[in-house]
Amino acid sequence: MSDYGENESKFMRKAKENPFVPIGMAGFFAIVGYRLMKMKNRGDTKMSVHLIHMRVAAQGFVVGAMTIGVLYSMYKDYIAKPKADQKALSNK
């Protein structure tokens, strides 16, 4: 079994590799927390409808963060990297 410090460094390493995963997780929990606090003031809305809206909003945020992360990764790999490679070749 690994100790807590090793797990923490592994999470931090993964977060540095792909920063949109912790952003997606934080947004998910923020939306769920906000919607749970607003549950008292939902008015005439049924509980099931309120929970469905909460789920859709949270999932939408996570999917959006994942999409932005993939687009950013593709930009780094296919647009920014070839330009850097071309500069290195031209300097030789």
Q: Is 47 exposed, middle or buried (0-12, 13-18, 19+ CB in 10 A)?
A: exposed
Distances (CA, A) of 76 to 10, 18, 22, 82, 86: 23, 12, 19, 9, 14
Task: Give the mean pLDDT of 35-54.
Answer: 88
pLDDT digits (tens, 9 = 90+) for 67-77: 998 898 888 88
Q: Locate the domains of the chain by residue range.
A: 4-90
Q: Is 24 exposed, middle or buried (0-12, 13-18, 19+ CB in 10 A)?
A: buried
- Token pair recorded at residue 28: 């998910």
Task: Give the mean pLDDT of 36-47.
Answer: 86
The residue among 90 and 15 whose pLDDT is bigger is 15
Q: Cβ distance 35 to 42 under 8 Å? A: no
| Per-residue pLDDT at 44 exceeds 90 | no
Q: Is pTM beyond 0.75 here? A: no
